[in-house]
Amino acid sequence: MASTAESQGEESYRRIKHDIICCVLQPASEITEGELCDRYGLGKASVRTALARLNQEGLLKGLPRRGHMIAPITLGDVAAVFELRVILEPAAARLAAERADETTLRALVDLAQPLKMPVERGQGEFLRSNLRLNHQFHVGIAVASGNQRLTTSIAQLLEAVERVLHLWMSTQPSMDQQLAHEYGEHTEVAAALFAREGEKAAKLVEEHLVIAREGIFSSLMRNPQSLTLQVARS
């Protein structure tokens, strides 16, 4: 019985967290425990367990006598996340170039290849697939570093920034040029890692993150009308 309750709590946590990160549950919106039970067809106990974990992770905020609020995205938070990524991810790249075996590095080269959008898939699903691939590439470098604490920290930072990436992509009429540039940079990073050029890989990762940060902030500031309810300025 205990294992069943734990698995139900894990499912509730996974499904609700996924929709928070993908902004299906929009930042700064309010929701109750009962609404979540109805929405996902889950029991109160498992939803309550999930809510406790999500509150601890900062993705939800409890509202006395009102339920819960999906944590707002603030420009300050986004800046802090990128500041940490610029510190940690180049370090992971240096370690990966030094420590990873050839099979692992070859897998990163494969992950760096851009996706092509099939005719039968819409733009939205294509963008979501690219975000998943981006996550796998950056976390893959961290895993290749052989440092589990570093990997955990980078994975958490990527989750934090993915919410704003979903919002950012939703404001773009076309992402073709941005994605082509993104994967061109991934390809260069992967090639440097495969060649065991740790310092070069670290520098490329840092440049990649700085460019991404500037692009996201520039876009958010150009599209305040679409983000008024989702992005706070502090």
pLDDT of 233 above 70: no
Residue of higher predicted confidence among 202 and 170: 202
pTM of the model: 0.80
Are 129 and 143 in the same domain? yes
Are 165 and 113 in the same domain? yes
Mean of per-residue pLDDT scores for the chain: 84
131 closest CA partner among 158, 152, 108, 151:
158
Question: What pLDDT was estimated at residue 225?
Answer: 47
Question: What pLDDT was estimated at residue 172?
Answer: 59
Are 214 and 139 in the same domain? yes
Question: What pLDDT was estimated at residue 182?
Answer: 61
Confidence of residue 234 (pLDDT cuts 50, 70, 90): very low
Are 87 and 59 in the same domain? no
144 CB-near residues (< 8 Å, 6+ apart): 92, 95, 96, 99, 100, 104, 105, 108, 193
pLDDT in tens, 176-215: 555 555 657 899 999 999 999 999 999 999 999 999 888 8
Give residue 187's domain range: 74-232
| Average pLDDT of span 12-37 | 91
Could you tell me the CATH number of the domain that includes residue 61? 1.10.10.10
Residue of higher predicted confidence among 115 and 121: 115
Alpha-carbon distance values, 1 to 5, 6, 44, 62, 190 (Å): 6, 9, 16, 29, 46
Examine the fold and report which residue of 43, 71, 99 is the final residue of a domain before the chain moves on: 71
Share of the chain above pLDDT 70, in %: 81
Question: What pLDDT was estimated at residue 119?
Answer: 45
| Average pLDDT of span 14-42 | 92
pLDDT in tens, 68-110: 999 888 888 888 999 999 999 999 999 999 999 999 999 999 9
Q: Per the structure, how many domains does the chain have? A: 2
Confidence of residue 1 (pLDDT cuts 50, 70, 90): very low
> If you ran DSSP here, which 8-state letter would residue 59 be given?
S
Q: Tokens representing 89? A: 């991810």
176 CB-near residues (< 8 Å, 6+ apart): none
Are 114 and 191 in the same domain? yes
Q: Which amino acid is at 204?
A: L
158 CB-near residues (< 8 Å, 6+ apart): 85, 135, 138, 139
Are 127 and 27 in the same domain? no
The three-state secondary structure class of 234 is: coil
Could you tell me the CATH number of the domain that includes residue 122? 1.20.120.530
Quick one: residue 68, left, alpha or beta (phi over 0 = left, psi -120 to 50 = alpha)? beta
